[in-house]
Copies of this chain bind each other. A is one copy, B any other.
Amino acid sequence: MKQRPRIIIIGAGFGGLFAARALANKPVEALLVDRQNFHTFTPLLYQVATCALDPSDIAYPVRSIFRQNKNIHTLLGDVIAVDYTARQVTIQTHQGLRQEPYDYLIIATGSTPTYFGNDAFRAHALELRTLSDAVQLRNHILTKFEQAAWSQESAEVEALTTIVVVGGGPTGLETAGAIYELYNHVLSREYSQRDLRARVILVEMLPHLLAPYPATLRDAALAQLQSLGVEVILERPLTHVAADHITLGDGRVIPTHTLVWSAGVSASPLADMLDVPLARGGRLPIQPTTEVIGRERVYAVGDITYLEDADGQPYPMLIPVAQQQGILAAENILADIDGRSSHPFSYHDRGIMATIGRRRAVAWIYNRIPLRGYMAWLAWLALHLLTLLGFRNRLSVFLNWVWNYFTYDRSVRIILEQQQSTLWPQPISTSPPPNMVQ
A411 at the interface (CB under 8 A from B): yes
A146 at the interface (CB under 8 A from B): yes
> Does the CB pair A416–B135 fall under 8 Å?
yes
Asked if A136 lies at the interface with its beta carbon under 8 angstroms from chain B, I say: yes
A75-B150 in contact (CB<8A): yes
> How does the 8 Å CB contact mask read for A361-404 relative to B, with 1 for contact and 0 for none?
00000000000000000000000000000001001100100010
Task: State how many copies of this chain the complex holds.
Answer: 2
Q: How many residues on A have C-beta within 8 angstroms of the other chain's C-beta atoms?
A: 54
Distance from A70 Cβ to chain B, minimum over Cβ atoms (Å):
5
**A121 contacts the other chain (CB 8 A):** no
Q: Which residues of chain B come closer than 8 Å to A57, judged between CB atoms?
A: 54
Stretch at the interface among A6-14, A185-193, A295-303: A185-193
Residues of A43-60 whose CB lies within 8 A of B? 54-57, 59
Residues of A within 8 A of B (CB): 36-38, 54-57, 59, 61, 63-64, 67, 70, 73, 75-76, 93-95, 98, 131-132, 135-136, 142-143, 146-147, 150-151, 189-193, 392, 395-396, 399, 403, 407, 409, 411-421, 423
Given known contacts A151-B95, A419-B132, A414 and B37 CB-to-CB distance under 8 angstroms? yes
A230 to B412, CA, bound (A): 34
Q: In whole Å, how far is A54's beta carbon from the nearest beta carbon of chain B?
A: 4
- Separation of A421 and B76 alpha carbons in the complex (Å): 25
A64 touching B413 in the complex, CB below 8 Å, given contacts A70-B192, A418-B421, A423-B143? yes
- A420 and B417 CA atoms in complex are apart in Å by 7
Instruction: Sample 12 A-B pairs with CB under 8 A, ordered by A number.
Output: A37-B413, A38-B413, A54-B55, A63-B191, A64-B413, A67-B189, A70-B192, A75-B150, A94-B147, A136-B419, A395-B399, A418-B421
Question: Which of B193, B403, B407, B417 lies in contact with A421, CB distance below 8 A?
Answer: B417
Q: How far is the CA of A422 from the CA of B251 in the complex (A)?
A: 31
A392-B407, A399-B399 are known; give 15 further A-B pairs, CB within 8 A: A36-B414, A37-B142, A37-B413, A37-B414, A54-B54, A61-B190, A64-B190, A75-B150, A76-B143, A98-B150, A132-B416, A136-B418, A136-B419, A395-B399, A417-B420
Cα A191 to Cα B75 in complex, Å, equals 11
Which residues in B have their C-beta under 8 angstroms from that of A59?
A: 414, 416
Chain B's closest residue to A65 (CB) is B190
Say yes or no: B414 contacts A56, CB within 8 Å. Answer: yes
Least Cβ–Cβ distance between A134 and chain B, in angstroms: 10
Asked if B150 and A413 sit within 8 Å, CB to CB, the answer is: no
Judge whether A56 and B132 touch: CB under 8 Å: no
Are B395 and A55 within 8 A (Cβ)? no
- The answer for the CA separation of A75 and B149 in the assembled complex, in Å, is 9
| CA–CA, A396 and B396, complex, Å | 8
Would A56 and B412 be within 8 Å (CB), given that A64-B190, A419-B420, A423-B417 are in contact?
A: yes
